């Protein structure tokens, strides 16, 4: 049994698949590998202090600045200070980017 809208949807989907505006951009695997190698080389020699290493591990484990501050018996502002240093050292723009770059450098 065929529904009237079914034929219309098929035609619309076919047109969308032909239209470059609807194309999804998939990164090529070799480019991802190259990017990872580059990041790995760039950040492999990042020197971290003991405190930065400690805070980075907590960030990777998903703790917030407040939770880290409570665990370390420091102010939240101190944790923000260390986190900002980590972001600069790893050239990260976001917390997720920091975690990714830190994981790649290990």
The pair of three-digit structure tokens given for residue 86, joined into one six-digit string: 């980590």
* CATH number of residue 39's parent domain: 1.10.10.10
Please indicate, yes or no, if residue 22 is contained in any of the structural domains: no
Please indicate, yes or no, if residue 72 is contained in any of the structural domains: yes
Task: Please give the tally of structural domains in the chain.
Answer: 1
Please indicate, yes or no, if residue 42 is contained in any of the structural domains: yes
Please indicate, yes or no, if residue 17 is contained in any of the structural domains: no
Please indicate, yes or no, if residue 16 is contained in any of the structural domains: no
DSSP 23: -
pLDDT in tens, 7-24: 555 555 556 566 666 655
pTM of the complete model beyond 0.75:
no
Residue 83 pLDDT: 96
Pick the more confident residue, 93 or 105: 93
Please indicate, yes or no, if residue 88 is contained in any of the structural domains: yes
User: Which structural domain, as residue segments, surrounds residue 97?
Assistant: 27-105
Long-range contacts of 76-79 (CB under 8 A, 24+ apart): 79/55
The mean of the pLDDT values for the chain is 77
Residue 43 pLDDT: 47
Q: Give the DSSP per-residue string, 41-99.
A: HHHTT----HHHHHHHHHHHTT--HHHHHHHHT--HHHHHHHHHHHHHHTT-SSHHHHH
Give the C-alpha distances (Å, rounded to integers) separating 59 from 5, 10, 70: 50, 47, 13
């Amino acid at each position: 049994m065929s529904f009237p809208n079914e034929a219309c949807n098929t035609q619309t989907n076919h047109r969308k698949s032909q239209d470059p505006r609807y194309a999804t951009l998939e990164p090529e695997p070799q480019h991802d590998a190259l990017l990872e190698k580059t990041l790995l080389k760039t950040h492999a020699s990042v020197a971290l202090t003991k405190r930065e290493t400690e805070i980075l591990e907590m960030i990777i484990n998903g703790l917030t600045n407040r939770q880290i501050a409570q665990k370390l018996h420091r102010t939240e502002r101190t944790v923000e200070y260390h986190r900002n240093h980590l972001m600069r050292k790893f050239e990260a723009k976001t917390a997720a980017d920091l975690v990714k770059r830190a994981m790649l450098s290990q």
